[in-house]
Structure 1
Amino acid sequence: MGGSVSCCSSGETPKISRREVELEECPITTAEDVSEDTGTYLQHISDRELPDELAQESNPSDHPRASTLFLNKSQTDVREKRKSNYLNHMSPGLLTKKYSSCSTIFIDDSTVSQPNLKSTIKCVALAIYYHIKNRDSNRSLEIFDEKKHPLSREKVPDDYAVVDPEHKLIYRFIRTLFSSAQLTAECAIVTLVYLERLLTYAEMDICPCNWKRIVLGAILLASKVWDDQAVWNVDYCQILKDITVEDMNEMERHFLELLQFNINVPASVYAKYYFDLRSLADENNLSFPLEPLGNKRAQKLEAISRLCEDKYKNMCKNAMRRSVSADNLIGLKKSNAVLS
C-alpha cells in the first residue's frame, strides 16, 4: 500500500492520471516544497491504496470479480484430463449424465441460497485438494503444524509433510466435522472463503503438514459467523477427543489475527464461490444430484412461483401508490403556492 509517488503543485492545473505521468517526471515533494499556508502534505487515501486490478488479483476472497484461487489451481489438471481424453478418444461422464427430454425433466435442488450439503462438501474438499497438490511452495506457520500441535494422540508419520492427502481423506475429515457439529452447506462455502483469505493475507500455503488445522480453524470460524447457533470450541474437543480447548482458543485467535479480523463475506463473493464450485464439479465429473420432476415437486414449484408472482405484484402496487401520493403532494404544494 502506498507504492506510488505523489506529486503536488501550487497552481490550479487539471488533474492528470497517474498512469499518464512517467515516474521520472514526478518530482518527489519535500518539506521545503510545501507552503506554510497549506501545512504538511498528506497523501490522498486513493493514492495510498492499491489499484482495483491489483487488489482483486491479490485478494480474490474480497472481490466478486476476481477469480477464485482454487479454480485457478485446478486448471492445470483439467487441461491434462482434456488432453488425455482427446488423445484416447474418451468422453467420461457423458453416458452417466442425465439429460431432460420431452417425457422426463430432471431438476437440481441445489441453489445458491440452499446448496446440497453432500455435494458442496465434496467440492470444497476437491478445492482444498487442488490447493495442496498445485501449491507454489511450503510456506507455513507453527500454529498450524500438525507435528507440533497434533490433533490426536496417534503418532504423526515421519513423512507427514511430504505426502499429499487424497481427495477422499480430505472429504472424510470435513464430513466428520460437519456431520458431528450439524453444520450447513452454506458454512462449507464460507469455510473455503476464509481459507483462501488466510492464504492470501498471511502469504502462506496449505500443504500436507498444516491442512487439517487450517481447515479446522476455518470451519470453527465459519460456524460462529454464519450459523445462528454456533458450535462451541469445547464441542469440537468432543469430536476430536485428543485436542484441548486451550489449543482451539489459541488457533482461533491466530486465525483471526492473520485474517486481520476481516470476517465479512459479501453476498457477491459468496455467490462467486458457489458458482465456481459448481464449475469445479462439472470439470471433475462431480455432478450435483438430479431428480426427475414428479407431480408433487411440480405442484410445489408452481406454488412457489405463484407466491413470488403475488409478492412482485404487491410490490408494484405499493410502488404505484407511493408514486401517486408523491404526485398529489407535489400538485397540492403547487396549488397552494399559486393561491398564496
Structure 2
Amino acid sequence: MSTEDRYGSMKAGATKPIEAEKAKKFFYSANDIDKPCSSPSEPNVDHTVRSVCTQIHKLLDHSVRHHKKNPKVIPVFCEDLHSLGVTDMTQIPLPQIEHMHIFMVYIMHQLQMNPQCSIICLIYLERLITDAKVVLHPINWRRLVVISLLMASKVWEDHSVRNAAIVQRAFPFFTVKEINVMEQEFLELLDFNLTITPQEYLEYYFSLRELCGADFLAKLKKEELELLETKSKQQSRTAASRPKSIDESALSLHVSSLSSSTPLPSTQTTSEPARQECAASSSASPSSSSQQQPVEQHASSTTSESDATPSPLNK
C-alpha cells in the first residue's frame, strides 16, 4: 500500500478522509462570506488550519529549494521511499496546500482537537527547525505534524489525546510503540521545551490571521468585496442605533436624588451616637420631633459613658 493510500488519497475520485457533510457541520466553510468572529481563545477553525498549512508549505518549499547534501532528517520520522514510489528523497514532490489542509483537518476531526492545537503545532515545528536544526522535508512532514499535534493536545487541552487514540481513530497502520518512539525522539529534539508563553501564542495567532485575511481577500471577486463592505456598513449602523443598556434619564434622576440628600457627618470628627442621631433626624418628619427625645437621651447617656474611657474621637 502506498503512502498516499495509507494517509488518505487526495487524488481525484478517491474517497475523502471525512465526508463533506461532517466537515461542514464541524468546520466553517471557507466559501462563506459571513465569516464568524475569530479570537485568540476561539480561532476560526478552517482559516487557522489553512493558514498553518500555508506556512508549513513555505517551510517545505524553502527546504526543497535550498537542498543540503546531508540534511538532518531523523530516520524515525522519515517515510519509506518505496511506499512513496521514488528511489531518492530529492524526487519526492512538494505536497499541495489543499492536500496538507485535508490531512490536518482529518487528524483534528478524528481526535476532536481544538483549533489552538494547530497554532501550537506550527510553533513546535519551527522550534525543531531553528533550535534542533531539523530539516522539514516532504519525506518527514506528515509524521512530524502528527507528533506535533499530539504534543500540542497534551500541553493545551484538559482532556488530551492519548497515543493509542491515534492508532485507533486516525492511523491504524501505526503501532502504539511507534508513536511512543516518535514522541520520545520529538521531546529530546526540543529538549523537552514545550512551554508556550501567551505573548508567543498571540504573535503566531495574529500573524496567521493576517496571512489568512490577505489570502481570503485575494480570492474574492469584485462583487463579493462590495457585498462584504455593504454588510460591514450595515452592521456598523445597527450597532450605532442599538439602544443603550442604561437609561440615561433614570441615571440622571438617580444622581440628582443622591446630590439632594443630606450628607452624613464625617466619622473623623463625630462620634457614633451623633451619627445615629443625624440618621434618625433625617428620616423623621417635622411633626415627629417628640420622637427624637429618646434618641437624644440615649446619645447623652452614651456620651457620658464614653467619657470614662478615653477615645481618639473624643479628644
Question: Could you say which TM-score interval applies, normalised by the shorter chain?
Answer: 0.5 to 0.7
The CA distance in 1 between the partners of 2:60 and 2:217, in whole Å, is 19
Are the counterparts in 2 of residues 160 and 208 from structure 1 also a CA contact under 8 Å? no
1:279 deviates by: 2.2
Matched, 1:210 2:143: no
**Counterpart AA for 2:50:** K
Give the aligned partner of residue 320 of structure 1.
Answer: none
Give the aligned partner of residue 177 of structure 2.
Answer: 246
The CA distance in 1 between the partners of 2:111 and 2:32, in whole Å, is 33
The CA distance in 1 between the partners of 2:104 and 2:60, in whole Å, is 15
Please report the RMSD computed on the Cα atoms of aligned residues, expressed in angstroms: 3.7
Are the counterparts in 2 of residues 108 and 288 from structure 1 also a CA contact under 8 Å? no
Matched, 1:226 2:159: no
Aligned residues: 201
Distance 1:286 1:171, change over 3 A: farther
The CA distance in 1 between the partners of 2:219 and 2:158, in whole Å, is 26
Report percent identity of matched pairs: 30
1:287 deviates by: 7.8
Give the aligned partner of residue 197 of structure 2.
Answer: 266
Distance 1:107 1:240, change over 3 A: closer
Are the counterparts in 2 of residues 116 and 288 from structure 1 also a CA contact under 8 Å? no
TM score, norm. by length of structure 2: 0.55
Distance 1:242 1:249, change over 3 A: same
The CA distance in 2 between the partners of 1:160 and 1:278, in whole Å, is 37
- 3-state SS in 1 of match to 2:83: coil
The CA distance in 2 between the partners of 1:164 and 1:206, in whole Å, is 11
Give the aligned partner of residue 188 of structure 2.
Answer: 257
The CA distance in 2 between the partners of 1:285 and 1:235, in whole Å, is 34
Matched, 1:144 2:77: yes
Give the aligned partner of residue 117 of structure 2.
Answer: 187
Larger RCO (alpha carbons 8 Å, 6+ apart) = 1
Give the aligned partner of residue 48 of structure 1.
Answer: none
Higher Rg of the two aligned structures: 2
Aligned partner (choices 277, 280, 283) of residue 211 of structure 2? 280
1:198 deviates by: 1.3
The CA distance in 2 between the partners of 1:97 and 1:172, in whole Å, is 18
The CA distance in 2 between the partners of 1:217 and 1:286, in whole Å, is 32
Are the counterparts in 1 of residues 36 and 44 from structure 2 also a CA contact under 8 Å? no
Give the aligned partner of residue 39 of structure 1.
Answer: none
- 3-state SS in 2 of match to 1:119: helix
Q: Which runs of 5+ in 2 are unaligned?
A: 1-30, 221-227, 246-266, 268-310
- Any idea what the Cα deviations from partners look like across 1:283-314, whole Å, max 9, x if unmatched? 4337899795799xx79xx89x97xxxxxxxx
The CA distance in 1 between the partners of 2:219 and 2:203, in whole Å, is 17
Give the aligned partner of residue 112 of structure 1.
Answer: 40
Are the counterparts in 2 of residues 281 and 287 from structure 1 also a CA contact under 8 Å? no
Are the counterparts in 1 of residues 38 and 44 from structure 2 also a CA contact under 8 Å? yes
Distance 1:119 1:214, change over 3 A: same
Give the aligned partner of residue 67 of structure 1.
Answer: none
Give the aligned partner of residue 236 of structure 1.
Answer: 166
